[in-house]
Chains A and B, each alone.
Chain A
Amino acid sequence: DIQMTQSPSSLSASVGDRVTITCRASQSISSYLNWYQQKPGKAPKLLIYAASSLQSGVPSRFSGSGSGTDFTLTISSLQPEDFATYYCQQSYSTLPYSFGQGTKLEIK
């Protein structure tokens, strides 16, 4: 199975900050990497698919990059509604799909 490791596990930041979350795969997954945002009591929401493609309706302050084993999610200017937990997920050809452990983004 492919293991996904996110860093950091938690992060404190302020409104307006630029934030980067990293996701590393245990083997190359090309660009088969997706990012989700989850708020308490809610289902995850797809933000980025195929490493860098913005899902329809997602603000442009979210961006993704990377390929192979190393990926990043960047929020260019944090907004109050962005404080949430973020997950990466690999969808490479080898099942099972797997998720990172999550990064909790909190208000400083």
Chain B
Amino acid sequence: QVQLQESGPGLVKPSQTLSLTCTVSGGSISSGSYYWSWIRQPAGKGLEWIGRIYTSGSTNYNPSLKSRVTISVDTSKNQFSLKLSSVTAADTAVYYCARVGFREAFDIWGQGTMVTVSS
């Protein structure tokens, strides 16, 4: 079955760019009509949707982060990626990648990766 796995640095300095990759295994990222999303969760808080990408490269972002976010896809590597620029301590969170399934529910999630923004 399809599984997702996030990877990337666990520590990023303020004002720098956070970069994460989600690797899809057990199936092709291009099969089916799915969007692929990034979601984050600060410690002890709720979930915030960051954005999504279709395998064609079409993207949608949360307006609250839109000026700093870029999501891209590499179908040859079965991966999609997140870049968040000009990070501050407020961007410290667990970052999840997820598949957007039927009726746009997040039906498959990665295990999450903790990213801390600190000098």
Q: How large is the interface on A (under 10, 10 to 19, 20 to 34, 35 or more residues)?
A: 20 to 34
B63 at interface, CB cutoff 8 A: yes
Distance from A96 Cβ to chain B, minimum over Cβ atoms (Å): 4
Q: Are A44 and B106 in contact (CB under 8 A)?
A: yes
Say whether A91 contacts B62, CB under 8 Å: no
In the complex the two chains form, is A34's CB within 8 Å of B105's CB? Answer: yes
Q: CB within 8 A of A46: which of B48, B62, B106? A: B106
B36 within 8 A of A: no
The CA-CA distance from A91 to B100 in the complex, in Å, is 10
Chain B 62-99 interface residues, beta-carbon cutoff 8 Å to A: 62-64, 96
Q: B7-48 CB contact bits vs A (8 Å, 1 = yes)?
A: 000000000000000000000000000000100000000111
**Chain A positions within 8 Å of B60 at CB level:** 95-96
Identity of the chain B residue whose Cβ is nearest the Cβ of A48 in the assembled complex: B105
* Contact residues of A between 80 and 108, Cβ < 8 Å to B: 87, 89, 91, 95-102
In the complex, chain A residues 35-93 whose Cβ is within 8 Å of any chain B Cβ: 36, 42-46, 49-50, 53, 55, 87, 89, 91
Residues in A6-28 with C-beta less than 8 Å from chain B: none
What 3 A-B pairs come out closest when comparing CB atoms? A91-B104, A43-B109, A49-B105
15 contacts between A and B (CB under 8 A): A1-B63, A34-B103, A34-B104, A42-B111, A45-B109, A46-B101, A46-B107, A49-B102, A49-B103, A55-B107, A89-B47, A91-B105, A96-B49, A99-B48, A102-B47
- Using a CB–CB distance below 8 Å, which chain B residues touch chain A? 37, 46-49, 60-64, 96, 101-107, 109-112
